[in-house]
């Protein structure tokens, strides 16, 4: 165990952990966005999706705990790396070079610590609002389940602060992922010039897609009038 801990906290180990946890979180983001977009399906689509997750029972809590552990490890390593760099270079550069080369300097890379902290706070608030929030119940396929769909619509339709705040944080998510996806694969050793360039482009595209996909939902509901919006069917 001491050797494993030492390996995990070494420079190489930390890079590997950063890459693995980062890729895992990206996969979760894809899965989560897919679940969120079910709100544009039939009236039962989102609640049926939620019901299937809750029907996993203990497995759902195991997955949640595992996801939390991955998220905390990723955050801890990211913050510790930022603190180490700040300590080694206390004076900020007056001029940053353009993005490119090994470091890929950009707004996204320079704001990783800030966007990461904001996302960490957002996740806590988001889980408290939706995953742990009070909901009504509906009957689906003869089973009573949480009416998460109504909670989502009511939250975004009736709270400009939450709708626009959520959208803003999703822009920060896109900014974070713009550098983070490339960095995750680079940390796992994919450093050849061609692969690095391809991953940087793919990462940027995915970051934009994720940001738009997530922020579209609250803004569409807020401006579209909740379930009265054309793509959201009412009960």
Distance between CA 86 and CA 92 in Å, rounded?
A: 9
Task: Please give the residue that has the higher pLDDT: either 95 or 233.
Answer: 233
Cα 30 to Cα 24, 99, 111, 206, 214: the distances in Å are 10, 27, 22, 10, 10
Residue 6's pLDDT is what? Answer: 61
Provide the pLDDT for residue 7: 53
Q: Is the model's pLDDT at 195 over the cut of 60?
A: yes
43-60 pLDDT tens trace: 999 999 999 999 999 999
User: Residue 50's closest CA among 128, 137, 119?
Assistant: 137
3-state secondary structure of 168: helix
pLDDT confidence bin for 13, thresholds 50/70/90 = confident
Provide the whole-model pTM: 0.86
Report which secondary-structure segment, H or E, holds 82.
helix 58-88
The CATH fold assigned to 16-84+104-228 is 3 helical TM bundles of succinate and fumarate reductases (1.20.1300)
Residue 129: DSSP 8-state: I
Average of per-residue pLDDT across 30-50: 94
Which of helix, strand or coil describes residue 146?
strand
Alpha-carbon span 202 to 180, nearest angstrom: 11
Sign (positive or negative) of CA dihedral 7, 74, 50, 233: negative
* 31 has a pLDDT exceeding 60: yes
pLDDT over 80 (residue 176): yes
Mean pLDDT of 140-169: 94
Q: What is the mean pLDDT of residues 138-164?
A: 93
Q: What is the pLDDT of residue 230?
A: 72
pLDDT band at 23 (very low <50, low <70, confident <90, very high): very high
Give per-residue pLDDT as tens, 217-229: 999 999 988 877 7
Residue 104: predicted pLDDT: 58
Give the mean pLDDT of the chain. Answer: 86
In the predicted model, is pLDDT for residue 8 greater than 70? no
Give the span between the Cα atoms of 179 and 209, in whole angstroms: 14
Question: What is the distance between the alpha carbons of residues 188 and 73, in angstroms, rounded to a whole number?
Answer: 16
């Amino acid at each position: 165990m001491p050797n494993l801990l030492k390996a995990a906290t070494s420079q190489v180990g930390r890079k590997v952990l950063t890459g693995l946890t980062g890729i895992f979180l990206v996969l979760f983001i894809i899965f989560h966005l897919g679940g969120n977009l079910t709100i544009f399906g039939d009236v039962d689509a989102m609640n049926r999706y939620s019901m299937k997750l809750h029907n996993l029972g203990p497995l759902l809590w195991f997955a949640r705990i595992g996801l939390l552990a991955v998220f905390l490890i990723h955050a801890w390593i990211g913050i510790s790396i930022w603190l180490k760099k700040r300590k080694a270079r206390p004076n900020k550069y007056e001029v940053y070079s353009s993005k490119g080369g090994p470091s890929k300097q950009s707004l996204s890379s320079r704001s990783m610590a800030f966007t990461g902290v904001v996302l960490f706070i957002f996740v806590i608030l988001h889980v408290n609002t939706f995953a742990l929030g009070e909901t009504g119940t509906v009957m689906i396929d003869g089973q009573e389940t949480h009416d998460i769909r109504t909670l989502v619509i009511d939250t975004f339709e009736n709270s400009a602060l939450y709708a626009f705040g959520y959208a803003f944080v999703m822009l920060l998510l896109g900014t974070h992922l713009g550098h983070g996806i490339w960095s995750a694969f680079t940390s796992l050793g994919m450093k050849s010039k061609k692969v690095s360039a391809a991953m940087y482009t793919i990462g940027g595209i995915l970051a934009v897609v994720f940001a738009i996909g997530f922020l579209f939902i609250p803004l569409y509901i807020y401006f579209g009038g909740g379930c009265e919006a054309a793509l959201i069917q009412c009960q």
